Amino acid sequence: MTTLLAFALCLLGFNLLCISMSRNARLIGLTPLQPRQQPLNRWLGALLIAASLPVCCLHYGNVIGPVAWCGWMSLAVFCIGLLLSYRPALLKTLAGGSLWLKSPG
């Protein structure tokens, strides 16, 4: 269960980083973030990715945990890349938690 949590944190974090780029936000179907909101989205995405490291270390131990963390990050980036390429509308539903950062209008 903790490995699923680590993967979910990585996936949501990389999705936030993806949405913070205006080109990707338009591709997904969202209005691009205002420039003052983009750093907040990037920091929140980075914090979610960083939060998955202790989860991996808790499950796998301090030796293998960072290696597993790199693996989960790689898998999350691969999934985001595939979804962005072939089904960008699915990333909009994944971005549900970050839509409160979306610019109005």
Is there a domain that residue 57 lies in? yes
For residue 87, give Cα distances in angstroms to 56, 64, 76, 104: 29, 33, 15, 24
- The angle formed by the CA atoms of residues 24, 9 and 64, to the nearest 5 degrees, is 125
Is there a domain that residue 65 lies in? yes
d(CA 48, CA 12): 7
- The number of domains in the chain is 1
Look at residue 98 in the predicted model and tell me its pLDDT.
Answer: 52
Domain containing residue 35: 2-99
Is there a domain that residue 105 lies in? no
d(CA 56, CA 67): 9
d(CA 47, CA 84): 22
Is there a domain that residue 33 lies in? yes
Q: What is the pLDDT of residues 38-97, one digit of tens each?
A: 888 899 999 999 999 999 999 999 999 999 999 999 999 999 999 999 988 888 877 665
Is there a domain that residue 104 lies in? no
Q: What is the pLDDT of residues 10-42, one digit of tens each?
A: 999 999 999 888 888 888 888 888 888 888 889
